[in-house]
């Protein structure tokens, strides 16, 4: 069974930065795609950024130019560097992996507030 474990969330002031990490453990597959989603209270879970096995990336319009997704294929780890954070970025951020199945992490809270 594959588990995705996120880390790096927390409280940050507007304009600040955070780096989220997501590491796969257990029976590790080679993910064809990994991504970050987020869900704010009362809203649906939306894609933030995704990265494929060829390292191609895509981003939600709301985070383009501020967030960067990267991955370490050998470690099946994906990162999300978040800069210039805004209060509207506040949400629970979930890691997603596609490979031999669909896998989700448990989520990590990101709060942007002064």
pLDDT (tens digit per residue) in 34-51? 999 999 999 999 999 999
Which residue's entry shows tokens 């383009």?
A: 64
88 SS3 class: helix
Tokens of 106: 């448990």
More confident residue, 47 or 100: 47
- Give the model's confidence band at 105: pLDDT under 50 very low, under 70 low, under 90 confident, else very high: very high
pLDDT tens digits, 62-84:
999 999 999 887 777 899 999 99
């Amino acid at each position: 069974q594959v588990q995705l474990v996120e880390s790096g969330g927390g409280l940050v002031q507007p304009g600040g930065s955070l780096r989220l990490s997501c590491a796969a453990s257990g029976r590790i597959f080679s993910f064809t795609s990994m991504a970050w989603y987020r869900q704010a209270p009362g809203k649906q879970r939306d894609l933030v950024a995704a990265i494929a096995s060829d390292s191609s990336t895509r981003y939600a319009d709301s985070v383009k130019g501020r967030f960067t997704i990267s991955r370490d294929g050998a470690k099946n780890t994906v990162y999300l560097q978040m800069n210039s954070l805004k209060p509207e970025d506040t949400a629970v951020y979930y890691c997603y992996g596609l490979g031999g199945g669909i896998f989700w992490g448990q989520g990590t809270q990101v709060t942007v507030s002064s």
